[in-house]
Amino acid sequence: MSNNTPLPKAVLFDFDGVVVDSSDVHYKAWSSAYLELFKMQIPPFPSLTHAGKAPIVIAQYFCDGINQPGKAEELYLLKSAHLHVNEQAPNLLPGLHEILTFLVENNIPYGVASNATRQFLTNSIRQLKMDFSIYTGVEDYVNPKPHPEAYISLAKKLNVQDSDFGETWVFEDSLTGTKAAKSAGMVPIGILAQHNAEALKKAGSQLVFKHLLDALNYLKG
């Protein structure tokens, strides 16, 4: 692909690591829930192996580590409760408002598909005044990323035709989400939040940018 490529037919966004940096917010919720449930400090978050994965998978990891595999759902639900009452907003990453303005001006549909909970997305969008009217969280589909369902279902909500999937961009920072976009037959676009360009391209990213502002400059040609 080069910068004389036609504009995408639609643009789909992952949330954490692409639109916002919410790692601190999530980890605080995991920590407080873990402390409440197990009366001990939580171990470091396994970013390299679990970033971008569904919350229940992360909960299972933490519970397996202390031989409490049956407590995963309880930890997941407790973490969600802690997260949803927290008024700390995540940090907005560069370029979000600018790229959304560009998409609106060019009549390109867009939305968010995240492995985070829908309530977290709702809270964050309200707190940061983000112009997202169509977004889906982990409760909105059966199979979380890396399954392609999240992006396929979002595309359907945006009325994107199957024949346009090959010209639909998906901004992702995780290998999990990149594989989901590729499996959906869409165009994964890597954001350098947690993996290097080589790893993202190996997972399927066709282009890689530092952040959305860099991607916008590319789109403008």
At residue 3, the pLDDT reads 55
Q: Residues 182, 183, 185, 186: is their CA dihedral positive or negative? A: negative
At residue 53, the pLDDT reads 81
Class of domain 10-21+90-220: alpha beta
Domains of the chain by residue range:
10-21+90-220, 23-85
At residue 49, the pLDDT reads 82
- Model confidence over 142-157: pLDDT tens digits? 998 999 999 999 999 9
The pTM (predicted TM-score) of the whole model is: 0.84
Query: How many residues would you count in the chain?
Result: 221
At residue 2, the pLDDT reads 46
Burial of 85 (0-12, 13-18, 19+ CB in 10 A): exposed
Asked if the peptide bond before residue 43 counts as cis, ω within 30 degrees of 0, the response is no
**Parts of the chain with a pLDDT under 50:** 1-2
At residue 154, the pLDDT reads 98
Identify each DSSP E strand in the chain by its residue range. 10-13, 20-21, 91-92, 110-113, 135-136, 168-172, 187-191, 207-209
At residue 193, the pLDDT reads 92
**Distance between CA atoms of residues 120 and 89, nearest Å:** 10
